[in-house]
Structure 1
C-alpha cells in the first residue's frame, strides 16, 4: 500500500471517528432534553414500594440479548417504559454532559454492555459503588444505540 492510500485511509478513518463522536454528543443532548421533559413523569413512575414491586423485572443480560436479537421487539418491551433491572456493575462513569451512568455486565460482548443513566444528583450514591457490585434499580428504557440498550431516569433500589 503506497503512502497516498494510507493518507486517504487515515482521513476516512478520522472522518468516521468524528461522525461517531458527533452522533454520541447529539444523542446525549437529546437524551438530556428528553430526561428533563420526562422528569415529572419518571418521578411518579416508581415512588412507593408498591409501585416499585409492580414494575416488570429484567436482568441486564436478558435486556442485552433482547436488543441483539430484535430491536423492534425490545423497543416495544422497554422503550419509554419503567422497569426494574438487576445486574453486576461493570463500569461507573459519566457521560459527556457529566451525568453519571452505570454499565452492567451481560451484554452480547464486553464493548456492548447495557447503560443506565442517572440524574446528576445521584453522584454521591453511585460514588459508593464498586465494580462487581450487585445492583437493583428502576429505570425508563430509551431504546438502543448500535445495539447497546440505553436507559435513563434510573434510581437504585
Structure 2
C-alpha cells in the first residue's frame, strides 16, 4: 500500500490536477482520500509510509531508546538527540511536571525509562490515559537526564493528520515543487488506471465508504500492478 499511496499523491501532481485551477474532480479527490487514509494508518502503526517520509521522521520504540542509552549514552545522543521521532511505547506512569506540563513514563527499567513531555494543551487527552495503554507519539529527542532518556514537544501521532494532508495537497497545488524524486509518471499512472478501472458507475465522489470498498477490491486484482507499470512506461515514452 505504501508505493500505491505515494504514486497517487504525485500522480496528481504529474497530471497537473490542482485545486487552484479546478483540475481535481470529485472522483479524484475521493481516490486521494482513500490512499491517504491507508497511508496515514500505516504511519500510525509505525510502518513505512509516505506520511513518515514527508515528516522526515524516524520510527523507533521507547524500549529501543532506553536500551540504546543504557548501552552507550554518547551513541544514544548521536542516534536520537534533537531528531524527530515516531515513538511506540507502553505507558508505565502518567505524571505532571514543571508548570503542570504532562509527561508519560514509557518503557525501560525504573531509572532509565523513557520520559515523554507534552505541552499543557495535551493535558485533557493525557488525563484519559491509563497505565498499560499503548501510545504512538511524535517527539523530538531531548537527550538524557540522570539516566532517563527524554522526549520533548510530544504530540499524539493522529494529531498530525491535518498537517500531513496539507503538505500533500500543497504539493498537488504546486506541481513545480516536485519533492518525490521524479516518480510522478508512475504515480500519474496509478490515478489513471484507478479511474479507468472504476468506470462511470463508481460511487467515488458520491459515497466515500462505497468508494473505499471499490478501491480495496481493485487493489487486490492480480493484474492491477502490472497495468499501472505498463501505463507508466507508456506515459514516459510519450513524453
Q: TM-score scaled to structure 2, two decimals?
A: 0.43
Report 1:1-150 matches (<5 A).
Answer: 52-54=51-53, 55-105=57-107, 107=108, 109-150=109-150
Select the structure with the greater relative contact order (CA < 8 A; seq sep ≥ 6): 2
- Deviation digits for residues 9-31 of structure 1 (CA, Å, limit 9, x no counterpart): xxxxxxxxxxxxxxxxxxxxxxx
Higher strand share: 1
Q: Give 1:97 deviation, angstroms.
A: 2.2
SS in 1 for 2:75: helix
How many matched pairs?
107
**Does the Cα contact within 8 Å between 1:52 and 1:138 map onto a contact in 2?**
no
SS in 2 for 1:124: helix
Q: Distance in 2 between matches of 1:70 and 1:111?
A: 15
Q: Say what the alpha-carbon RMSD is for the aligned residues.
A: 1.5
SS in 2 for 1:129: coil
**Does the Cα contact within 8 Å between 1:52 and 1:84 map onto a contact in 2?**
no
- Deviation digits for residues 67-114 of structure 1 (CA, Å, limit 9, x no counterpart): 111111111111111010001100111113211000112x1x223211
Higher helix share: 2
**Does the Cα contact within 8 Å between 1:101 and 1:117 map onto a contact in 2?**
yes
Q: Distance in 2 between matches of 1:123 and 1:67?
A: 28
**Does the Cα contact within 8 Å between 1:60 and 1:104 map onto a contact in 2?**
yes
Gap regions ≥5 residues in structure 2: 1-39, 41-48, 158-239
SS in 1 for 2:100: coil
**Does the Cα contact within 8 Å between 1:84 and 1:137 map onto a contact in 2?**
yes
Q: Which residue of 1 aligns with 2:7?
A: none
SS in 1 for 2:60: strand
Choose 1 or 2 for highest CA Rg: 2
Q: Distance in 2 between matches of 1:69 and 1:52?
A: 31
Q: Distance in 1 between matches of 2:102 and 2:69?
A: 23
